[in-house]
Amino acid sequence: MQLIEPQFHSRRAQEGFTLLEIMVVLAIVGTVIAVVGINLTPDTDRLARLEAGRFITVVNEVRDEAILAGESYFLLIDDRNMSYQFIGIRADRSKSRDEGLLRVRSVEQGVSLDWEVFEQFDSEESEKRVLITALGEITPFEAWFEGDENQYRVYVNEDYQLEQRTDESSRL
């Protein structure tokens, strides 16, 4: 009888999972869920940095187009709709050679956009405009692209070139 009992106990012990096996599987599943969850949430700081870089590139392209075409443009930023666009000053030549430059561009969701113009024209106070002249000159201004923790400031430096600087936001 002693030979039958150990076989019965060993067979019964192999029928289920041990607590250690269940804990290891739960730890692996939890880690996978955490990694996937982190990758699915948008990184607004990274998006804000990319939007600021894209903004500088587009403004410089429009500046180049202004010089090549002999046309001046206005930069209009709509901080309510989080978008910006360029408009040709002359009504008869408001189209550039590359019409894609003049389209409305929206910033990524989760990124906020604000701006300030340091010189106003003969326009209404509520409508701020940045002038990009046919000589490549640009009205001094600052634009802020803000994510969750960082703010990326685009500004016109003393040489009238666009620069980007990262500021830590005071938001928590």
Contact criterion met (CB below 8 Å) for 166 and 144: no
Tokens of residue 84, six digits:
């910006």
Question: For the chain, what percent of residues have pLDDT higher than 90?
Answer: 34
Given this model, what pLDDT does residue 170 score? 46
> What does the pLDDT read at residue 13?
54
Tell me how many domains the chain contains: 2
Domain match, 16 and 100 both: no
Same-domain check for residues 114 and 144: yes
In a shared domain, residues 140 and 68: yes
Within 31-168, strands assigned E span 73-78, 83-88, 105-106, 112-117, 130-132, 141-146, 150-156, 162-168
Do 36 and 79 belong to one domain? no
Q: What is the pLDDT of residue 64?
A: 93
Do 146 and 134 fall within a single domain? yes
Which single residue is written with the structure tokens 């002359």?
A: 90
The tens digit of pLDDT for each residue in 115-146 reads: 888 876 655 555 678 999 999 999 999 999 99
Range of the domain at 36: 4-40
Q: 24-29: list long-range contacts, CB under 8 Å, 24+ apart.
A: none
- pLDDT number for residue 145: 93
Same domain, 92 and 65: yes
Mean pLDDT to the nearest integer, 93-112 = 73
| pLDDT(6) > 60 | no
74 and 116 in a single domain? The answer is yes
Residues 79 and 151 in one domain: yes
Q: Please tell me whether residues 10 and 80 are part of one structural domain.
A: no
The CATH number of residue 96's host domain is: 3.55.40.10
pLDDT tens, position by position, 147-160: 888 899 999 998 88
20 and 87 inside one domain: no
